[in-house]
Amino acid sequence: MADVVSLLAEHGDDAKPLAGGQSLVPLLAMRLTRFEHIVDLNRVDELFGVTADNGSVRIAAMTRQAAVETDATVAQRAPLLHLATPHIGHFQIRNRGTIGGSVAHADPASEYPAVMLALDGTAEIASASGTREVPAAEFFESTFMTAVAPDELLVALRFSAWDQPAGFAFDEIARRSGDFALAGAAVGISTDAAGRINRAAVGMLGVGPIPLRASSVEAALIGLAAADADPHEIGRLAADDMDPIGDVHASADYRRRAGSTLVGRILASALAQLTQEAGNG
Ligand SMILES: Cc1cc2nc3c(=O)[nH]c(=O)nc-3n(C[C@H](O)[C@H](O)[C@H](O)COP(=O)(O)OP(=O)(O)OC[C@H]3O[C@@H](n4cnc5c(N)ncnc54)[C@H](O)[C@@H]3O)c2cc1C
């Protein structure tokens, strides 16, 4: 780690960290970008692994997406990561691709950035002058741009477990299995002892220049009795929270309409899971 941050401090903009290479290598191969120095993170042991501590889970940046997918602590403390991971590319990509690489790359159609935003995750960032923590809400600055400066390294992500009962769901629409999503969403909902929704988080991907929260949907859910919430009606509000673009894959209008219908469906799944959890509890 000391070597990595000192190399980044020395070379600044001329150096780029290499994680799983699943986004960086294609960009280099297509000559879309070029760096004098590549700093390979693949043999830095401190950057791998999942640890549980004080009700939260810390996932080191180089942890492969395939390891996130199957880790029991992640499934228990940050279920949305577990649900979202199978939607990332194909197994071969998840076998090399890392959670830190995905978040640092900050593709607005990626799964992990939207989940990090929905779960109010925290990024641990290091440089030669020390470490700092950045909340998800301040991490994604613009398309492919994050709070990580050229001389800094994303070291880990931290997620706090939610109070129970809680329900979580993730889904997306893609043209083919394994393709980047045209629109997708990650939902978490929890209730108090009286069955009223006291926490609602909706992260969306593919429907704006950065991952977005559906704050209109969240506001409409808070305080409702979970049993009375109409997910499809409330999901429609998500259209106002989106800022989609049209491209060769789908028009902006399609993304807005399909995305808000999808939010309704995912809310319905999360509410159904919540009812089941509450029943079990
Ligand atoms: C065919 C194909 C399909 C794909 N489909 C999807 C998909 O559906 N959803 C999806 O989300 N992704 C998809 N991906 C991308 C994949 O998930 C990548 O693994 C991910 O975007 C980048 O992770 P990586 O570990 O490979 O990072 P790299 O490609 O090595 O790095 C990506 C960028 O992040 C920077 N970086 C990496 N780690 C750090 C760090 N610790 N600190 C600071 N900067 C860092 C690098 O310098 C680089 O700029 C796909 C890729 C391919 C090839």
Q: Which of 8, 36, 102 to mutate to test the pocket of ligand 1 (most atoms within 8 A of CB)?
A: 102
In a domain, 42, yes or no: no
Q: Which residues contact 5 (CB under 8 A, 6 or more apart)?
A: 126, 127, 128, 151, 152, 153
User: For residue 53, what pLDDT is reported?
Assistant: 86
Q: Are residues 155 and 208 in the same domain?
A: no
Query: Where is the domain boundary, 116, 140, 160?
Result: 160
Q: Are residues 52 and 176 in the same domain?
A: no
Query: Where is the domain boundary, 105, 133, 160?
Result: 160
Report which protein residue has its CA nearest ligand 1's atom 27. 101
Backbone torsions φ then ψ of 140, nearest 5 degrees? -90, 110
Q: Are residues 10 and 136 in the same domain?
A: yes
| Cα–ligand 1 centroid distance for 6 (angstroms) | 23
Q: Are residues 177 and 214 in the same domain?
A: yes
Strand partners, 259: none
Nearest CA to 117 among 135, 98, 94, 97?
Answer: 135
**Domain count of the fold of the chain:** 2
Q: Which of 7, 14, 18, 22 to mutate to test the pocket of ligand 1 (most atoms within 8 A of CB)?
A: 22
Q: Report the alpha-carbon distance of residue 256 to residue 238 in Å, rounded.
A: 8
CATH number at residue 109: 3.30.465.10
Task: Tell which atom from ligand 1 comes closest to the C-alpha of 98.
Answer: 25
Q: Please state the pTM of the whole predicted model.
A: 0.97
Q: Which residues contact 216 (CB under 8 A, 6 or more apart)?
A: 237, 238, 240, 241
User: Can you read off the two tokens belonging to residue 178?
Assistant: 């394994």
Backbone torsions φ then ψ of 258, nearest 5 degrees? -65, -40
Nearest CA to 184 among 130, 251, 121, 108?
Answer: 108
Backbone torsions φ then ψ of 20, nearest 5 degrees? -80, -15
Q: Are residues 69 and 107 in the same domain?
A: yes
If DSSP codes are grouped into helix, strand and coil, which group holds residue 24?
A: helix
Q: Are residues 197 and 121 in the same domain?
A: no
User: For residue 281, what pLDDT is reported?
Assistant: 62
Backbone torsions φ then ψ of 217, nearest 5 degrees? -70, -45
Single-letter residue type at 30: M
Q: Are residues 56 and 95 in the same domain?
A: yes
- pLDDT at 36 exceeding the cut of 80: yes
The parent domain of residue 90 ranges over: 2-33+48-160
User: Can you read off the two tokens belonging to residue 211?
Assistant: 């991952």
Q: Report the alpha-carbon distance of residue 279 to residue 167 in Å, rounded.
A: 12
In a domain, 246, yes or no: yes
CB of residue 116 inside a 6 A radius of ligand 1? no
Q: What is the pLDDT of residues 37-87, one digit of tens each?
A: 999 999 999 999 999 988 999 999 999 999 999 999 999 999 999 999 999
CB of residue 211 inside a 6 A radius of ligand 1? no
Percent of the chain with pLDDT over 70: 100
In a domain, 41, yes or no: no
User: Can you read off the two tokens belonging to residue 67?
Assistant: 């390891």
Q: Are residues 117 and 215 in the same domain?
A: no
The two most distant CA atoms of the chain are separated, in Å, by 59
Task: Tell which atom from ligand 1 comes closest to the C-alpha of 19.
Answer: 30
Task: Tell which atom from ligand 1 comes closest to the C-alpha of 47.
Answer: 41
In a domain, 73, yes or no: yes
Q: How close are the terminal C-alpha atoms of the chain, in Å?
A: 44
CB of residue 97 inside a 6 A radius of ligand 1? yes
Q: Are residues 273 and 175 in the same domain?
A: yes
Q: Are residues 145 and 205 in the same domain?
A: no
Q: What is the pLDDT of residues 242-263, one digit of tens each?
A: 999 999 999 999 999 999 999 9
Nearest CA to 19 among 43, 51, 55?
Answer: 43
In a domain, 40, yes or no: no
Query: Tokens 């926490």 appear where?
Result: 199
CB of residue 20 inside a 6 A radius of ligand 1? yes
Q: What is the pLDDT of residues 134-181, one digit of tens each?
A: 999 999 999 999 999 999 999 999 999 999 999 999 999 999 988 999
Q: Are residues 134 and 221 in the same domain?
A: no
Q: Are residues 83 and 127 in the same domain?
A: yes
In a domain, 193, yes or no: yes
CB of residue 102 inside a 6 A radius of ligand 1? yes
CATH number at residue 215: 3.30.390.50
Query: Where is the domain boundary, 130, 160, 190?
Result: 160
Report which protein residue has its CA nearest ligand 1's atom 40. 154
Q: What is the pLDDT of residues 104-122, one digit of tens each?
A: 999 999 999 999 999 999 9
Query: Tokens 């593709």 appear where?
Result: 107
In a domain, 81, yes or no: yes
Query: Band of the pLDDT at 278, cuts 50, 70, 90?
Result: confident
Average pLDDT, the chain: 96
Nearest CA to 111 among 25, 180, 201, 207?
Answer: 180
In a domain, 38, yes or no: no
Report which protein residue has its CA nearest ligand 1's atom 19. 97
Q: Are 204 and 218 in contact (CB under 8 A)?
A: no
Q: What is the pLDDT of residues 179-229, one digit of tens each?
A: 999 999 999 999 999 999 999 999 999 999 999 999 999 999 999 999 999
Q: Are 41 and 19 in contact (CB under 8 A)?
A: yes
